Amino acid sequence: MSWRSQRLNDYYRWLNFKSLRLAVAALTVGVLASAAAAAPECHETKRPDGSTINWYLDRPENARAGIIILAQGSGCQSALASKNLGVARKAFPGFAALMVDKYGVGPGDDPADPFDKGCSETFRAHHTMGQRVADYKQVLTPLRDETWWDGKIVLFGGSEGGGVAARLAPEIDADAAVLLSTGGGVTFGEMVRQSIMDEMARNAVPRDQWPPVDEAFRKARENPQSSEVWAGSSYRFWADAIDRRAVDAMLLSKSALLLIQGGKDDSTPVANARSVADLFAKNERCNLTYWEFPSFDHGMVDLDGRNRMSEVLSLSAAWVNTQLAQGRTTASCAAPK
């Protein structure tokens, strides 16, 4: 069953930007007119090992609200310094936004090189996607008892953050999740390998100068606690991530899932996202919506160089509001036996 032959069936949709914009324009106006939020509150929570989780809550004043977890992408930048999370926050003003810094990252950290040399030894020694999932769960648990919470939980994550959100969704029973530039149909290691190999080929790099991806991943599997760095991340990080497929967690989830992919994404090949849609169809799951923007790259920049992130996120917010208004529906499309 190919993604093309199934693109408009009951399992998922493939929509271009123009038709999607027209379909939800009215809803978007309502989203952007929602309640304004106060400045983020800064909090600290101790992990079981005694280290500190720095986290931030930005919620509408004097109003009950759902919680949206905004999961940043790769690097050791604080969530407070993330421009993309700032854009995402503006798209979901009616929610209480929860942001959590990674292990070894302090409030407001914004190093010049957040993907390699600017990161601390503590970050190198402890940061993994699995650790992020554990941190979100720990911070979220007491918030469920707050009187201002309306009972709804939404996840948003892009790139690495999308992989984290995919893992987190079934563990916290989120109502909805938006996964941007996440791919997910192959293992994280396969996706990274494919992205690197494609880049080498595009730039006509001699084969003997290509990075030793398979050797690095072998070392990571053999040394899963090591803080030794390869390609900007520790072996510990790679060991936690390379053999996982986001789609496996997504298929366990009963959440309404929105997977967004740019057709010109060099970091997350579009075929990986399409295969997620195929796997949902194969498994007769109805809780995935798939949007593919053919001319957008990993950061939602179009062929003319215009950043369309805010527009995509506004559309995503309208989709989330629609899902929450409709209430939970069955995740399975299988016919009764």
Nearest 5°: CA angle at 282, between 276 and 283?
90
Cβ contact 31:316 at 8 Å = no
Cβ contact 176:256 at 8 Å = yes
Give me the domains of the chain, ranges plus CATH numbers. 17-326 (3.40.50.1820)
Rounded Cα distance, 213 and 194, in Å: 10
Q: Is 306 left (phi over 0), alpha (psi -120 to 50) or beta?
A: beta
- 52 three-state secondary structure: strand
Q: What is the dihedral of CA 78, 82, 88, 94, to 10 degrees?
A: 50
Q: Phi then psi for 139, rounded to 5 degrees?
A: -70, -40
Rounded Cα distance, 152 and 149, in Å: 8
Rounded Cα distance, 91 and 99, in Å: 15
- Per the confidence metrics, is the pTM higher than 0.95? no
Distances (CA, A) of 201 to 197, 213, 215: 6, 14, 19
Please report where in the chains the tokens 């977890």 appear, as a residue: 69
Which is nearest to 213 in space by CA: 199, 229, 196? 196
pLDDT string in tens for the chain (337-residue length): 333 333 323 333 334 333 343 333 333 333 333 344 457 999 999 999 999 999 999 999 888 999 999 999 999 999 999 999 999 999 999 999 999 999 999 999 999 999 999 999 999 999 999 999 999 999 999 999 999 999 999 999 999 999 999 999 999 999 999 999 999 999 999 999 999 999 999 999 999 999 999 999 999 999 999 999 999 999 999 999 999 999 999 999 999 999 999 999 999 999 999 999 999 999 999 999 999 999 999 999 999 999 999 999 999 999 999 999 998 777 787 766 6
Helices 160-172 and 129-143: angle between axes, nearest 10 degrees: 50
